Structures are given as C-alpha cells and as structure tokens.
Amino acid sequence: MSQKTEKKVPIKTPLFPERLRLSEEELSKRRSEDEAFTLRCREIFWRVYPDLVKEH
C-alpha cells in the first residue's frame, strides 16, 4: 500500500499556482457563453418535454 501524505495549504492560496489565472474579461466572456448555452438547452428541453412526458 502507498502512504498518504497530507499537505496543508494555507487559506486563500491557489491549489495549482503554476496554472495561469484567467483575466476578468475572460471570466466574464465564459460566463456569458455559459448563460447563452443554458438558455438554448432550456429552450430545447421545453420544446421536447411534452412529447417525453406522453411517451414515458
């Protein structure tokens, strides 16, 4: 069996400091893309929902 090593990470410290941080603009862009995707999926769901309820 392998041993587990516990490494204490101080609060508010990045877990992966070597990874690049995204800019605020990039985060905002990704959030808006996610929201647009969610709206499209929800629209498709509500279009298909009545048929699915009838069949299943």
| pLDDT tens sequence across 19-38 | 888 899 999 999 999 999 99
pLDDT of residue 38: 98
Task: Say how many domains are in the chain.
Answer: 1
44 part of a folded domain: yes
Q: Taking a C-beta distance cutoff of 8 angstroms, is the pair 15, 9 a contact?
A: yes
* In the predicted structure, residue 1 carries a pLDDT above the cut 70: no
Distance of alpha carbon 16 from alpha carbon 47, whole angstroms: 42
* In the predicted structure, residue 43 carries a pLDDT above the cut 80: yes
Q: Taking a C-beta distance cutoff of 8 angstroms, is the pair 32, 24 a contact?
A: no
Could you tell me the pLDDT band of residue 6, with boundaries at 50, 70 and 90?
confident
1 part of a folded domain: no
6 part of a folded domain: no
7 part of a folded domain: no
10 part of a folded domain: no
Global pTM reads: 0.60
53 part of a folded domain: yes
Q: Please give the angle made by the CA atoms of 12, 17 and 19, to the nearest 5 degrees.
A: 125
52 part of a folded domain: yes
The range of the structural domain enclosing residue 27 comes to 23-56
